[in-house]
Structure 1
Amino acid sequence: MIYLKTEEEINLIKVSAQLLGKAHAEVATWVKPGVTTGKLDAVAEEYIRDNGGIPSFKGFNKFPASLCISVNEVVVHGIPGGYVLKEGDIVSIDCGVKLNGYHSDSAYTYPVGEVSKEVMNLLTATKKSLYKGIEQAVDGLRIGDIGHAVQSYVEDRGYTVVRELVGHGVGRDLHEAPEVPNYGKRGKGIRLREGMVLAIEPMINLGTKAVVQERDGWTIRTNDRKYSAHFEHTVVVRKGKAEILTTFDYIEKVTANTSLMVEVQ
C-alpha cells in the first residue's frame, strides 16, 4: 500500500527534516581524522533527543545505533564504534529523525581530510546522480525513470550501481512502499503520483557493483573492497518539479571552507 501524504503531513515531514539537517551539521563538525565513528553517533543522538526528536534508526530491526556510518568500502549500514577516522577515508553518514510522528531520512558522504581526485570524483558523481534522480520524481512519470536517471548518469562515468539496496517511501513508518531502485528503465514501474514521499538514495561504487554482508548481519561492503559513496534526500512528488524536504544546507555551511564540500553544479 502506497500512502499519499496530505499537505499537513508533508509539512510535518519538513519539520522533521529540518531537525535532521541540523543534526547532520552537528555531526559534520566532528568529521575529521582522529575521531571515532562512535563519537559521531553519540553527537547525533544527543542533538536529536535534545531537540525533541527520536533517532529513527536506533532499535529499527534491532539496529544498535542512531547513525549508519559506512567508511570507505562499506556501502551502507555500518555500525558505529571504535573505528578512528583517518586522512583519506570517506565516510557515509545516514541518519533518520522521527518528530511529531513522522520520519525523515537523508545521507551524506564526506571526505576525511584530503582524498584522491579519483575518490572525490566518485563523491561528486554520486551526489549529482541523486539530483538527476530527483528531477524525475514528478507526477505522471514512473519509478523506473528515477532509477534510469541515476544509473545512466553514473554508468556513463564508469561507476556501478548497487542492486541489492534501494530507496523507499517515508512517512509514519521509516520504510514504506514503494521501493525506489537506483537503476531501471524509462517508463517502467509504478506510476508516480503527487503526494508520494520518497527517500531517493544512490549507492554508487568505484569498482564492481557486487556487495557482501558482513557477519554482524548489517554491514554491507563492496565485494572488491573499492570505495562506495551514498547520498540521500527525502522528497515529495509534485506536478512539474519534485520538492526536496530534507536539506544539505546546514551541512554545507559547516563544510563550505574545507575539503568536505562537494559541489552539485
Structure 2
Amino acid sequence: MADAEMAEGLLCATCQQPAKLQCPRCLELNLEKDLAAFCSQECFKASWAEHKKLHKPSATEGWHYCTRRGAGRSLNMPEFKWTGELRPARIGPMRPIPDHIPKPDYYATGYPASEMESRQQHQVKIRTEKDIAGIREACRLGRLVLDKAHAAIKPGVCTDEIDRIVHEATIEFGAYPSPYNYFNFPKSVCTSINEIICHGIPDRRPLQEGDIVNVDVSVYYKGYHGDLNETFVVGEVDERSKELIKVTHDCLHKAIAICKPGTPYRDIGEVITKHAKQFGMSVVRTYCGHGIGEFFHCAPNVPHYAKNKAKGTMKVGEIFTIEPMINLGLHRDKTWPDGWTSATEDGERSAQFEHTLLITPTGCELLTARLPTSPPLWWEKEEQQAAKGGGDAAAAAAVGAS
C-alpha cells in the first residue's frame, strides 16, 4: 500500500474514516484517489473482493466518466445534451455484502435470471399467507431503512452518504439491498435529484439548499422484496417544488383509495392524471408500478397515466406497487449515458412517491405505510410547527392573564 502522506486529506473508500493508505494498483491505473484510499490494511482486505473489480477495464465500462471525473469538464465525460443543471459526480465503489446475508441470483451475475424466466412476468400471482407474511416483513424493514435515510437529508450531505446509510441499515437488519447489482446497478439505493425522474445513482455531489431528492429503497429479506420511496426537501425549497411534492403524494393516495377487489388496473392512471392536471403537472409514462414478492419486478404492470392499456382487475391476495412520477413540465424523459439516470426532457423538476400494497376483501393494506416514528414530510413539519406556535401563544396568553 502507498504511504500515509499520499492519503492525507482523504477518507476511507469503505468506512469513511480518515485514510492512511492507498491501493498501489489504483494509483498505477490513475484511478480517482478517493477510490483507492483506506484507513487500514484490515479495511482494505475486507473490501478486496469488491475493490479489485475497479482494476478491470470492464468494471468501469459505462461508469468510467462518473468514477474518474472531478469538478468541471473531464475528458471522460461523454458528449451529451443535458436537459437541466444537474451533472453526474464521482461514483464510489460498491460496498461489500457480508457472506451471511442471503442474496438473490443477480448478486453474482448482474442478471435476474429466475425473475426474467418466471411465468410471473405474465401472470399475476395470488399470494399465500406465507408470501404475505414474508412480503409484509420486507416492507416493514424497507420503511425503517427509508426513515433512516430521510432523517439524514440536509444540505451538504452527498447521496453516496445516503447510500452508505441505506446499505448499512439494510445489512444490519439481515437483509439485502435489492437494487445492488440488479442489471448491474452499482449502488444500494436510487437517489433522484431535481430534474431526475428515477434511477439516479448515488454519487459524491453534496445536496444543496433548495434541492428536492427522491430516495427509493428496496430490500430483499428471507426470500421476499419490499419497495417504497418518498421525495424530500433539502433545506428551504421554492413553493412550486413543494407543491409538486405534495401533489405527487396526493396522486398516490387518491389512487390507493380506489384499490379493492374488482377495480380495473387501468383506472389508477385515470385518478392520478386527473389530480396532476388540476395543478398543471404531467404524468411520466415510461415507468410504471409492478408486482413484487420473491421477484423484484413481475406482473401486474401498473401504468400511472390516463387512457392506458393495462389489463385485468384487482383480486384478493395480489400485491403490487403504485409509484407515480409527476413532472412540473412535459411528461417525456431522457436517459443519461450511464444507462440508468432518467431525467425530464425539458429539465423541469420531478417528484415520486411509492407504496407496496396488498388487496384485501374490503380494500387494501399499505404494507409500506408510514409509522408514528417516521420523520415528517414538509407539510407535516409545517403543520407541527404551526401547532407548536399556536400552543406557545396560548400558553403565553394564559400567563399574561394570570
TM-score normalized by the length of structure 2: 0.62
Residue 253 (structure 1) aligns with: 374
5+ long unaligned stretches in structure 1:
none
Matched, 1:152 2:274: yes
- C-alpha separation in 1, matches of 2:215 and 2:140: 16
Question: 1:8 pairs with 130, 151, 159, which one?
Answer: 130
Distance in 1 between the 2:159 and 2:309 partners?
Answer: 41
Residue 101 (structure 1) aligned to one of 203, 219, 223? 223
Aligned-residue identity in percent: 35
- Residues 183-231 of structure 1: per-residue CA shift (max 9 Å, x gap): 1349963111111101100000011111100100000000111110000
**Quick one: distance in 2 between partners of 1:186 and 1:215?**
29
User: Among 334, 354, 364, which residue is 1:212 paired with?
Assistant: 334
TM-score scaled by length of structure 1: 0.94
2:302 touches 2:310 (CA, 8 Å); kept in 1? Answer: no
Say if 1:173 and 1:50 are closer, same or farther in 2 by CA, change over 3 A: same
Of stretches 110-119 and 148-157 in structure 1, the one that deviates more from structure 2 is 148-157
1:113-165 deviations in Å (ceiling 9; x for gaps): 11111111110000011011111221111111111111111112211000011
Retained in 1: the 8 A contact 2:163–2:202? yes
Sort the Cα spacing of 1:213 and 1:148 in 2 relative to 1 into closer, same or farther, 3 A.
same
Give the CA deviation at 1:11: 1.6
| 1:181 paired residue among 296, 303, 314 | 303
Distance 1:67 1:260 in 2: 25
Q: CA RMSD, aligned part only?
A: 1.8
SS of residue matched to 1:78: coil
Structure 1 contact 75–203 (Cα < 8 Å) conserved: yes
Q: Give 1:222's aligned amino acid.
A: T
CA shift, 1:240, in A, is 2.9
* Deviation string, structure 1 residues 59-78 (Cα, Å, up to 9, x no partner): 11111111100000000000
More strand by share: 1
Q: Which amino acid in the other structure matches residue 172 of structure 1?
A: E
C-alpha distance in 1, partners of 2:173/2:308? 41
Map of 1:166-245 to 2, 5 A cutoff? 166-185=288-307, 189-245=311-367
Distance 2:326 2:133 in 1: 31
The residue aligned with 1:52 is: 174
Of residues 250, 253, 260 in structure 2, which corresponds to 1:131?
253
* Corresponding residue of 2:244: 122
Out of 197, 201, 207, the position equivalent to 1:75 is 197
Structure 1 contact 141–187 (Cα < 8 Å) conserved: no
> 1:174 & 1:82 partners in 2: Cα distance?
27
Task: Give secondary structure in 2 for the equivalent of 1:237.
Answer: strand
Measured in 1, the distance between the counterparts of 2:159 and 2:308 equals 39
The whole-number CA distance in structure 2 between the counterparts of 1:195 and 1:119 is 37
C-alpha contact (below 8 Å) 2:319/2:357 kept by paired residues: yes
| Alpha-carbon distance in 1 for matches of 2:308, 2:329 | 25
Residue number in structure 2 paired with 1:42? 164
- Which protein has greater RCO, CA pairs closer than 8 Å, 6+ apart? 1
